[in-house]
């Protein structure tokens, strides 16, 4: 039987009715002859509620104890879904991340998966059961401490299991119909992209696409796991993600990141290797900060640019001297509350830059900076104008004229 790993996000299992609806979908997939592993998130706003509860009793909760608390949300969902499946006469069993063999490093709240040993899952699949796994969590094999995976953790769990158990299809169920040409909450006319290669999907995710987290897409590409993103509220086909991008110049989507902080480090290093050491130290200490640029001018001068949440950027500022190491002259500046809007596609060139700039000018959106690559035009915008920029660029590339095709 073909193996399918399904993942259901928090809105898909937000209340008992939604849990029963998901159970019905799982039961139909099982009746169609599939082996099924189902990864679930916490119900609705459960994670946010647990975080708020923690802050009511502690001004600075221990990350270790936060992990112990937050993993409760997924465990509730997995048990309820197993119960709902039992009522439909579907054999099912639920496992935590550690019971599923999700092994991680020891970085509480932002752990990385280092190995997957799904022996118990395989045994239950052989018995004909649907296996339900709590997403977003794992265990450090050295310390036996429970960990959480940070942003996109349940998606990452699903892809990691599909890669370990494969060949398998990974279906990501959410509250939107697939990956769109822009955020449909900002652009009601945005349309679903039927198919994306790993490279384009990763670019979208890194630049602000909200459907899949970048680490999930990059993991899928590494293990060649095909993904389908679709809504759990209907039967539309969604977006297929897999393989290489089709040849030919074209625009895929407009994406954005709003209200982010920028950390810009500039200094002199004894070589590119020393700058790389700073990058690696920051990645280990603050994995949620994302490096978006590493530029070198002259033999020694380097500029490193990270974006992320305000708290992470402030922590970097406090710890930068420690993380950069001795012997190098650097300065670090922070800017808060900025945004990026990007045109993502293949073979982008001067004509696309001109069209994008003209669209932003017509919308009177101030552009503070531009970075152009063959796969993305990245505009930095200020004054809370991200939404206006997204709408202007989507109109220019998808509504006023058709997107370019090969």
Kindly tell me if the per-residue pLDDT of 93 is higher than 50.
Answer: yes
Task: Please tell me the least confidently modeled range out of 6-15, 220-229, 265-274, 381-390.
Answer: 265-274
Q: What is the pLDDT of residue 271?
A: 56
- For residues 196 and 163, the answer to whether their CB atoms sit within 8 Å is no
Kindly tell me if the per-residue pLDDT of 401 is higher than 70.
Answer: no
Q: How confident is the model at residue 272 (pLDDT cuts 50, 70, 90)?
A: low
Q: What is the pLDDT of residue 346?
A: 87
Kindly tell me if the per-residue pLDDT of 178 is higher than 50.
Answer: yes
Nearest to 158 by CA among 144, 172, 145: 172
Kindly tell me if the per-residue pLDDT of 404 is higher than 50.
Answer: no
Task: Please tell me the least confidently modeled range out of 10-24, 39-53, 162-176, 390-404.
Answer: 390-404
Percent over 90 (pLDDT), the chain: 66
- For residues 134 and 148, the answer to whether their CB atoms sit within 8 Å is no
Kindly tell me if the per-residue pLDDT of 138 is higher than 60.
Answer: yes
Convert the pLDDT of each residue in 27-59 to its tens digit. Answer: 999 999 999 999 999 999 999 999 999 999 999
More confident residue, 8 or 329: 8
Kindly tell me if the per-residue pLDDT of 215 is higher than 70.
Answer: yes
Q: What is the pLDDT of residue 405?
A: 43
Kindly tell me if the per-residue pLDDT of 356 is higher than 90.
Answer: yes
The length of the chain is 406
Task: Please tell me the least confidently modeled range out of 22-26, 55-59, 348-352.
Answer: 348-352
Kindly tell me if the per-residue pLDDT of 344 is higher than 80.
Answer: yes
Q: What is the pLDDT of residue 24?
A: 98
Kindly tell me if the per-residue pLDDT of 357 is higher than 90.
Answer: yes
Q: What is the pLDDT of residue 89?
A: 98
Q: Which helix (H) or strand (E) holds 306?
A: strand 301-308
Q: How confident is the model at residue 323 (pLDDT cuts 50, 70, 90)?
A: confident
Pairing of strands 329-346, 376-381: antiparallel
Q: Give the N- to C-terminal CA distance of the chain in Å, as an integer.
A: 38
Which 8-state DSSP code applies to residue 327? S
Kindly tell me if the per-residue pLDDT of 393 is higher than 90.
Answer: yes
Q: How confident is the model at residue 259 (pLDDT cuts 50, 70, 90)?
A: confident
More confident residue, 290 or 115: 115
Kindly tell me if the per-residue pLDDT of 353 is higher than 70.
Answer: yes
The average pLDDT across 227-244 equals 94
Kindly tell me if the per-residue pLDDT of 406 is higher than 70.
Answer: no
Pairing of strands 146-148, 376-381: unpaired
Nearest to 140 by CA among 164, 104, 176, 175: 104
Residue-by-residue DSSP string for 96-148? -TTTTTEEE-S-TTS--EEEE--HHHHHHHHTT-EEEEE-SEEE-TTT--EEE
More confident residue, 218 or 274: 218
Average pLDDT score, the chain: 90
Pairing of strands 367-373, 301-308: unpaired
Q: How confident is the model at residue 299 (pLDDT cuts 50, 70, 90)?
A: low
Token pair of 121, please? Answer: 């899952």
Residue-by-residue DSSP string for 162-173? HHHH-SEEEEEE
Kindly tell me if the per-residue pLDDT of 402 is higher than 60.
Answer: no
Complete domains list, the chain, with CATH: 3-175 (3.40.1160.10)
């Amino acid at each position: 039987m073909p193996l399918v790993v399904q993942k259901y996000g928090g809105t898909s299992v937000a209340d008992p009715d939604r849990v029963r609806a998901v159970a019905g979908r799982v039961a139909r997939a099982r009746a169609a002859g599939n082996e099924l592993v189902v990864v679930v998130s916490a119900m609705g706003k459960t994670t946010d509620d647990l975080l708020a509860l923690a802050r009511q009793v502690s001004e600075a909760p221990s990350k270790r104890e936060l992990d112990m608390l937050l993993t409760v949300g997924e465990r509730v969902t997995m048990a309820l879904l197993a119960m709902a499946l039992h009522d439909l006469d579907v054999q099912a069993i639920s496992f935590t991340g550690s019971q599923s063999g999700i092994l991680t490093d020891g970085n509480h709240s932002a752990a990385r998966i280092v190995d997957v040993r799904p022996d118990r899952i395989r045994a239950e699949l052989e018995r004909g059961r649907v296996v339900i796994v709590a997403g977003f969590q794992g265990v450090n094999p050295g310390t036996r401490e429970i960990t959480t995976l940070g942003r996109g953790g349940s998606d990452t769990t699903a892809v990691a299991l599909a890669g370990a158990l494969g060949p398998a299809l990974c279906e990501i169920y959410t509250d939107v119909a697939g990956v769109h040409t822009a955020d449909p909450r900002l652009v009601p006319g945005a349309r679903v992209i039927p198919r994306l290669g790993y490279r384009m999907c990763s670019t979208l995710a890194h630049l602000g696409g909200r459907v899949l987290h970048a680490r999930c897409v990059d993991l899928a590409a590494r293990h060649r796991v095909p993904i389908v993103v679709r809504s759990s509220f209907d039967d539309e086909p969604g977006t297929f993600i897999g393989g290489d991008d089709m040849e030919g110049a074209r625009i895929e989507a407009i994406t954005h990141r709003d209200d982010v902080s920028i950390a810009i480090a500039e200094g002199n290093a004894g070589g590119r290797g020393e700058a790389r050491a700073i990058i690696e130290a920051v990645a280990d200490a603050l994995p949620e900060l994302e490096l978006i640029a590493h530029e070198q001018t002259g033999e020694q001068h380097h500029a490193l640019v990270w974006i992320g949440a305000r708290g992470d950027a402030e922590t970097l500022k406090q710890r930068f001297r420690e993380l950069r190491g001795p012997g190098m002259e650097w300065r670090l500046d922070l800017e808060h509350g900025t945004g990026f809007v990007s045109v993502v596609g293949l073979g982008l060139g001067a004509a696309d830059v001109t069209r994008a700039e003209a669209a932003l000018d017509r919308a009177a959106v101030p552009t503070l900076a531009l970075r152009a690559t063959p796969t993305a035009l990245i505009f930095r915008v200020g004054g809370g104008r991200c939404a206006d920029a997204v709408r202007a660029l989507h109109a220019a590339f998808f509504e006023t004229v058709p997107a370019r095709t090969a």
